[in-house]
Chain A
Amino acid sequence: MKRFGAFVVKEFYHIFRDYRTLLILFGMPAVQLMLFGYVITNEIKDARIAIYDPSKDVVTRTISDKILSSGYFILERNLNNVAEIEDAFRYGEVGLAIIFEPEFAKKMEKTGTAHLQVIGDASDPNTANILVNYVSGIISNYLISINSEKIPHQIIPETRMMYNGELKGVYMFVPGLMAMLLMLISALMTSLAITREKELGTMELLLVSPLQPVQIIIGKVFPYVFLAFIDAIIILILANTVFHVPVLGSVSLLLGESFLYICMALSLGILISTITSSQQIAMMVSLVALMLPTILLSGFIFPVENMPWILQAFCYVMPPKYFITIIKSIMLQGNGLANVWHETLILLGFTLFFLILSIKKFNIRLA
């Protein structure tokens, strides 16, 4: 046990003397969270629009007011004639233009129908779509409000977005970010640590000594479990205090699941290190085989259900996918173990699988 202690102490020395490692371990989570939270946002606020209103009557003014007071839009300019519309878009001044037809209110009264045109800048199709939908929504609401007395039957849908009422993007990002960062720290760092030992030739000396191979692996891994866990806590605290992401469920369950995920990623790191001989290769394998799939195939950013079936099949072998589900379930929905036991078991299975495979490979190499 004392031998093991001496070994673990050495591992901590390696970590704290390597500034790059420290940067990755502690700088990255904070930076990534800030990046995703503040910079990369798919919510639209203060989109600049132009309005061409040749009619200037009560109805058009009401509609314009409603649009501008929704919080989504800012009036960049009032257009004076049709020719100015194209310029407004070409120079990138606005993302949306609203054009009322002349004598709007009069037409509505006489014929019951009036036209308005909503033009979006679809060089960014996602944003354009969202903006157009916002406007359509506002107009529908307006119609309902003015028609409510005249029409006997109505269907008025009332929408409610559960667990994330304001549709804040950051709620989606935090679980994915945790999955990604913990995977990076645990798997990448572990595989680097072990291959570094091999590269230096010091692994031989460790194997000749009375230290058991099991002690060596656990000794290598232990500091990273510890540090990754601290990172998980940092991310959760930041997400909660800075971005107000709620933690509705049990915090201890959340931390327990994170710990399981860390162990899974560590075993994966160990497995990678048994099949690679140099740090460079270990890093490449970790990045390509782990990070990219984690980001793209885990449901972090792109929903699994929308992918072609063959990729969906891949997704089911991605451990991060299950972890993200668990985190969302606990944090945003407030669920307990009863709802996530299925995914928890899968993560456990992955962990055991990687561990057993690593031990086998380690032994083969020794023989």
Chain B
Amino acid sequence: MNDVTLTPDIRTKQGMAISSENIILVKDLVKKFGNFIANDHLTFQVRKGEIFGFLGANGAGKTTAIKILCGLWYPTSGELNVAGYDIYTQREKVKQNIGYMSQKFSLYDDLTVFENIRFYGGIYGLRKNEISERAKSLMEKLDLSSARNKLIRDIPLGWKQKLAFSVAMLHNPKIVFLDEPTGGVDPITRRQFWNLIYEAAHGGTTVFVTTHYMDESEYCNRVSIMVDGRIAALDTPEKLKYQYNASTMDDVFIRLARGK
């Protein structure tokens, strides 16, 4: 069992190689459900290698946007380019190059740790030896080797969360989308999870994460805040705090939400 260290080893944003190349390009994204406009002309870019936080209150349109970026839902209109491919005409290529971790951690309760890994490796087209190699190193890194043949329903939540992330990364995607990945876990586990995110980012993977924990936004390179279907602010946490004269991102958010 992974021991809980009292001074968590958080890697910092220093030393991350963020290129100026854009890996996600969104222009005038609109999504309507009947008369309700969930995404109202969103325009933004995400740079390759950065940790991009997608913030907003519940119902602001974050989940809608991320589902559209992942290819789960079709946009009503707008241009989208993800991982270098057009979402309308090259959907398959997009899917092959992204990973996804949902709120519910998307692992199968009645399959073992290894079987889950093997399954996801299989559907992403990895070869058998690739799968066993990566499974082995993954389990060693997460200290899960002893739980290889345990059913998912029998392992603790914190482990599930880290495993779900690693499985999303199994096929070495260019971008990994995390939809509220830290819901329901304790603060220490959350910190450890962010270690994994940093590691992925240092390795060149772009991380697109939605959350409604404002403190987690400090961990991101840049952050966008959605209010009522629109992007109300997009910048680094430091600049946002300066701009809104706030000491924490919580305050930034409150000022934004209030002043609409």
Cβ of A7 within 8 Å of any chain B Cβ, yes or no, is yes
B128 to chain A: closest residue by CB:
A2
Interface residues of B in 3-36 (CB under 8 A from A): none
- CB within 8 Å for A208 and B108 given contacts A2-B125, A13-B115, A201-B103: no
Of the candidates A13, A210, A366, the one whose C-beta lies within 8 Å of that of B111 is A13
Contact in complex: A3, B125 (CB < 8 Å): yes
- CB within 8 Å for A201 and B110 given contacts A3-B122, A3-B125, A6-B122: no
0/1 interface trace, chain B 94-115, chain A, CB 8 Å (1 if under): 0110101011111111110001
Cβ of A130 within 8 Å of any chain B Cβ, yes or no, is no
Contact in complex: A204, B95 (CB < 8 Å): no
Contact in complex: A10, B95 (CB < 8 Å): no
Contact in complex: A201, B123 (CB < 8 Å): no
Cβ of A317 within 8 Å of any chain B Cβ, yes or no, is no
Contact in complex: B72, A13 (CB < 8 Å): no
Contact in complex: B103, A18 (CB < 8 Å): no
Q: Contacts of A366 on B, CB cut-off 8 Å?
A: 72-74
Complex: A211 Cα to B124 Cα, angstroms: 8
Complex: A208 Cα to B167 Cα, angstroms: 13
Cβ of B70 within 8 Å of any chain A Cβ, yes or no, is yes
- CB within 8 Å for A367 and B74 given contacts A208-B98, A208-B100: yes
Cβ of B118 within 8 Å of any chain A Cβ, yes or no, is yes
Contact in complex: A6, B119 (CB < 8 Å): yes
A365 to chain B: closest residue by CB:
B73
Complex: A109 Cα to B92 Cα, angstroms: 98
Cβ of A205 within 8 Å of any chain B Cβ, yes or no, is yes
Cβ of B71 within 8 Å of any chain A Cβ, yes or no, is yes
0/1 interface trace, chain B 214-230, chain A, CB 8 Å (1 if under): 00000000000000000
Interface residues of A in 1-45 (CB under 8 A from B): 2-3, 5-7, 9-10, 13-14, 17-18
Of the candidates A6, A18, A200, A208, the one whose C-beta lies within 8 Å of that of B72 is A208
- CB within 8 Å for A204 and B123 given contacts A6-B118, A209-B95: no
Q: Contacts of B103 on A, CB cut-off 8 Å?
A: 201
Q: Contacts of A108 on B, CB cut-off 8 Å?
A: none
0/1 interface trace, chain B 113-139, chain A, CB 8 Å (1 if under): 001001111111100000000000000
Q: Contacts of A143 on B, CB cut-off 8 Å?
A: none
0/1 interface trace, chain A 197-209, chain B, CB 8 Å (1 if under): 0001110111111
Contact in complex: B100, A205 (CB < 8 Å): yes
Q: Contacts of A206 on B, CB cut-off 8 Å?
A: 123
Complex: A173 Cα to B47 Cα, angstroms: 68
Contact in complex: B73, A367 (CB < 8 Å): yes
Q: Contacts of A18 on B, CB cut-off 8 Å?
A: 110
Contact in complex: A210, B122 (CB < 8 Å): no
Complex: A200 Cα to B111 Cα, angstroms: 13
Q: Contacts of B125 on A, CB cut-off 8 Å?
A: 2-3, 210
A207 to chain B: closest residue by CB:
B72
Q: Give the number of residues in B that approach A within 8 Å (Cβ atoms).
A: 29
B168 to chain A: closest residue by CB:
A205
Contact in complex: B108, A204 (CB < 8 Å): no
Of the candidates B73, B115, B118, B123, the one whose C-beta lies within 8 Å of that of A210 is B123
Contact in complex: A208, B122 (CB < 8 Å): no
Contact in complex: A210, B96 (CB < 8 Å): yes
Of the candidates B74, B102, B107, the one whose C-beta lies within 8 Å of that of A204 is B102
Interface residues of A in 178-217 (CB under 8 A from B): 200-202, 204-211
Complex: A201 Cα to B119 Cα, angstroms: 16
Contact in complex: B106, A201 (CB < 8 Å): yes
Q: Contacts of A200 on B, CB cut-off 8 Å?
A: 104, 106, 108-109
Residue from the set A13, A14, A204 with the largest chain B CB neighbour count within 10 Å? A204
Min C-beta distance of B196 to chain A, whole Å: 18
Of the candidates B108, B109, B118, B123, the one whose C-beta lies within 8 Å of that of A209 is B123
Contact in complex: A202, B106 (CB < 8 Å): yes
Contact in complex: B124, A10 (CB < 8 Å): no
Complex: A344 Cα to B109 Cα, angstroms: 41
B96 to chain A: closest residue by CB:
A210
Contact in complex: B110, A205 (CB < 8 Å): no
Complex: A18 Cα to B211 Cα, angstroms: 35
Contact in complex: B73, A201 (CB < 8 Å): no
Min C-beta distance of B144 to chain A, whole Å: 19
Complex: A17 Cα to B73 Cα, angstroms: 33
Contact in complex: A3, B100 (CB < 8 Å): no
Min C-beta distance of B215 to chain A, whole Å: 25
Q: Contacts of B92 on A, CB cut-off 8 Å?
A: 210
Contact in complex: B111, A3 (CB < 8 Å): no
B122 to chain A: closest residue by CB:
A6
Q: Contacts of B123 on A, CB cut-off 8 Å?
A: 3, 6-7, 206, 209-211
- CB within 8 Å for A201 and B102 given contacts A18-B110, A366-B74, A367-B74: yes
Contact in complex: A2, B72 (CB < 8 Å): no
Complex: A160 Cα to B108 Cα, angstroms: 60
Interface residues of A in 196-255 (CB under 8 A from B): 200-202, 204-211
In addition to A3-B125, A13-B111, A14-B111, 8 A-B residue pairs with Cβ atoms within 8 Å of each other are A10-B111, A17-B110, A200-B106, A205-B100, A206-B123, A208-B70, A208-B95, A366-B73
Question: Could you jot down 17 A-B contacts, CB within 8 Å?
Answer: A3-B123, A5-B122, A7-B123, A13-B111, A14-B110, A200-B108, A200-B109, A202-B106, A202-B107, A204-B102, A205-B106, A208-B70, A208-B71, A209-B120, A209-B124, A210-B95, A367-B73
7 interchain residue pairs of minimum CB distance: A6-B122, A201-B104, A205-B106, A208-B100, A3-B123, A367-B74, A210-B95
By a beta-carbon cutoff of 8 Å, the part of chain A in contact with chain B is 2-3, 5-7, 9-10, 13-14, 17-18, 200-202, 204-211, 366-367
By a beta-carbon cutoff of 8 Å, the part of chain B in contact with chain A is 70-74, 92, 95-96, 98, 100, 102-111, 115, 118-125
